[in-house]
Amino acid sequence: MKTTAASAALGALAPAHASAEAPPQPALQRVEPPSWWVGMAEPQLQLMLHGPGLAALHVRMSAPGVRLLGQQRLSSPNYLFVDLELAADCRPGRIDIQLHHPGHDTPLLNLSYELQAREPGSAQRQGFDTRDAVYLLVPDRFARAEPAVAPPAMRESRVQRSQPGARHGGNLAGLREHLGYIADMGFTQIWPTPVVENDNPSYSYHGYAATDFYRVDPRLGSNEEYRALAVQARQQGLGLIQDIVLNHIGDHHWWMADLPTPEWLNQWPSYTETHHARVTWQDPHAAPSDQRRFSQGWFTPNMPDLNQRQPQLATYLIQMSLWWIEYAGLSGLRTDTYSYSDRDFLSRWSARLMREYPRLNIVGEEWSGHPAIVAYWQRGKRNHDGYVSSTPSMLDFPLHYALIAGLKEADQGEGGIYKLYEALAQDFLYADANRLMAFEGNHDTPRLYSQLNEDLDLLRMAWGYLCVVNRIPQFLYGSELLLTSPGQRDDGQVRADFPGGFAGDRVDGLRGRGLSPRQRTAQALLRQLLNWRRQTRLVHEGRLTHYAPLQGVYVLLRHWGAPGSAEARQGERVMLVLNKQNQDVALDLRRFADVLGPGDRAHDVLQGGAARELGRTLTLAARSTTLLQLAAR
């Protein structure tokens, strides 16, 4: 199977002009980016023009504030790359670009290209940060608005909700209908899995095998609907994070029928898959061939690996990322398979994005349980090899693994809850641990509730921890309704339909109908935690002090000022206590005198009731999560 897929992909590398037939009549079929904006920090813009015979033409243009820098051709006769420079005083409007046969004055083709005005404050847009809580969802599986618009003919159009790997029919209109539910739950950011076209014969629902980088998948909606989603989300207090893939495409991407150059993809004599050894970039003993295979090996046979060392492709990917941020008004990007792309390209890509949007946030996926590996890719890290990244955030996989192990394992020696403590203690490895995104689960991992053996007490500990720890918390859609999955990776089951998102659903979490008592309890708990967190500045910006676990009890405090200072002991504080023991515990509070003091009054966030004065001990119920908010004194 791999050999066949590889042969088909490599066959697509043959230059399109190998045919002995007469050259076709030139025609303009695609222009990418489809539009641009004046007033960007970087004045240069490169247009990719595609159509039969375009490489044989020459460009002429004259437009105020726009200078033609040149044009470039690659091996395919059907691409022309046009380099422009936009002056600081360039005004919005359409510019005319003429394509001529060499030596002819009469234009053969005319392109009217739009330069738009940026939204006020666009460059200073606020990206997501520790004030936010992120809701990750799969649009195909979240909700379907009826009547759904029938998409054009595509390779996989049939809706088969009974098949885990098929399309289930969710759409952007369905998501828009239920933005109020997401906001009411206390979330402030939405991260949908990729929405761009994935016109592949199967498994096209997840979005990670693009066939057109500039088009929203018609089965989800249109570009205009996506932009409307962002606008409507902002009206609900929700930002929109776009999931972008820089490393690979789908094997039915329109490029594959006519590559601009064979170097557009990473090529091998026969199909060669990445070995997923992420540590090769940091390994001082790594063989160069191992580094090459990790970065240039294909992700799967049907996901051709892009060669970001190719200059025009690198520029294309940078401009594509910027285009979506500006077009849709995004609050940030999540970058899939981050470290698999060319390392130098990632440095250039992240620097350009942060130059255009200094307050934007980007979170990269580095699926490693080692903090030193994740830290390597974060902005501000002083790396041993001099590598410089401008990406502000990374997904905190080390803390994710520690959370599961810390709650599941027995509390003996350095096992159990100690692993969670130890993972957080390694924050010294990060340039800015507060910008990391901590998560209870995502679309690639088994459901947390299942990993915790459907233990609601342990789930309560996990959620409480994520809402108090110094991170940006992210939750997977349906977690609040206790969705389950196999313990081992099973994408179709993990990405199950959201109950109530589709007509005829018996259980409706969006409207609170048909839920079991445990589901109601879990949904209410997460709503309570997130809405409390949203209005508690201390857990967004305060310092964190935690204490080594003793006998299965782990204590974290958020406070202002250094531990032991008057500010820390007398200001507002938050105290989280996780008791994994199967019995009640009388916790001696004298141990926490760095932050606590006589006369402290505390409000129990989860239990409610009037604030009470803390005594010498705090009684903890067996297997409990205690969250206290202490008033300043």
Burial class of 309 by CB neighbour count within 10 A (0 to 12, 13 to 18, 19+): middle
Alpha helix ranges (H) inside 191-252: 223-235
Q: Are residues 239 and 332 in contact, defined by beta-carbon separation less than 8 angstroms? A: yes
Q: Are residues 552 and 581 in contact, defined by beta-carbon separation less than 8 angstroms? A: yes
Q: How far apart are CA 84 and CA 87, in angstroms?
A: 10
Q: How far apart are CA 494 and CA 249, in angstroms?
A: 23
CB atoms within 10 A of CB 162: 6
Q: How far apart are CA 276 and CA 297, in angstroms?
A: 9
What single letter denotes the amino acid at residue 292? R
Q: Are residues 143 and 169 in contact, defined by beta-carbon separation less than 8 angstroms? A: no
434 CB-side CA count, 13 A: 13
Q: Are residues 237 and 181 in contact, defined by beta-carbon separation less than 8 angstroms? A: no
Q: Are residues 488 and 529 in contact, defined by beta-carbon separation less than 8 angstroms? A: no
Whose tokens are 């705090």? That residue is 618
Q: How far apart are CA 193 and CA 615, in angstroms?
A: 48
3-state secondary structure 400-448: HHHHHHHHHCCCCCCCCHHHHHHHHHHHHHCCCHHHCEEECCCCCCCCH
Catalytic residue flag (residue 85): no
Q: Are residues 591 and 564 in contact, defined by beta-carbon separation less than 8 angstroms? A: no
Q: 413 φ, ψ to 5°?
A: 60, -125
Q: What's the token pair of residue 50? A: 């595609």
What single letter denotes the amino acid at residue 389? S
Catalytic residue flag (residue 588): no
Query: 202 vs 9, 211, 303, 451, CA distance in Å?
Result: 17, 13, 13, 29
The string of DSSP letters for 98-116 reads EEE-TT--S-SEEEEEEEE
Contacts of 242 by beta carbon, 8 Å cutoff, 6+ apart: 192, 194, 195, 324, 325, 328, 330, 332, 333, 334
Contacts of 90 by beta carbon, 8 Å cutoff, 6+ apart: 38, 39, 64, 65, 66, 115
- Which residue, among 438, 430, 486, 496, has the nearest Cα to 463 in the 3D structure? 438
Q: What's the token pair of residue 263? A: 């170097």
Catalytic-role residue among 132, 140, 336, 497: 336
- Give the bridge partners for 46, in sequence order: 83
Q: Are residues 397 and 383 in contact, defined by beta-carbon separation less than 8 angstroms? A: no
- Give the bridge partners for 333, in sequence order: 242, 362
Catalytic-role residue among 217, 342, 365, 411: 365
- Mind telling me the catalytic residues? 336, 365
